[in-house]
Amino acid sequence: MTIANPAPGRWLVAVDGFAVPSGTTAYDYVDVFVNTAFGGVSITDANALRPNGASWVVPGIVTANAVPAPGRVLLGQARVITDVNAQLGSADVVVQSVAP
């Protein structure tokens, strides 16, 4: 679920186990919120034709403008897109700690 422009304040998340088999079940929960004030990921790779199945190293810069709160990380994402803006893949950049 994505909530665009959520109101500030405290939010409650409830997990409704509507189809749990007998016994118990496990799940993973991840919440993400986006704010450019935390920093960003800049990719400096030039546009170029890439043959099918190609791999290449992409230069980039990670800028952390904030120290993550306890139990939080800074998460950025780099995407591979075509000239018609179709996403072919992506990679996450996780910053677990920042020295102030």
Task: Please report the pLDDT score of residue 86 as a whole number.
Answer: 92
Which residue from 78, 39, 75 is spatially nearest to 60, judged by alpha carbons? 78
Confirm if 41 and 57 have CB atoms less than 8 A apart.
no
Q: Specify if 72 maps to a domain.
A: yes
Q: Specify if 81 maps to a domain.
A: yes
Q: Specify if 22 maps to a domain.
A: no
Rounded to two decimals, what is the model's pTM?
0.62
Domain count along the chain = 1
Confirm if 13 and 31 have CB atoms less than 8 A apart.
yes
Which residue from 91, 75, 78, 95 is spatially nearest to 31, judged by alpha carbons? 75
Boundaries of domain holding 67: 36-95
Q: Specify if 78 maps to a domain.
A: yes
Q: Is the pLDDT of residue 5 over 70?
A: yes
Average pLDDT over residues 30-59: 86
Q: Specify if 27 maps to a domain.
A: no
**Token pair 């992506």 is at which residue?**
90
Q: Specify if 77 maps to a domain.
A: yes
Confirm if 42 and 63 have CB atoms less than 8 A apart.
yes
Q: Specify if 17 maps to a domain.
A: no
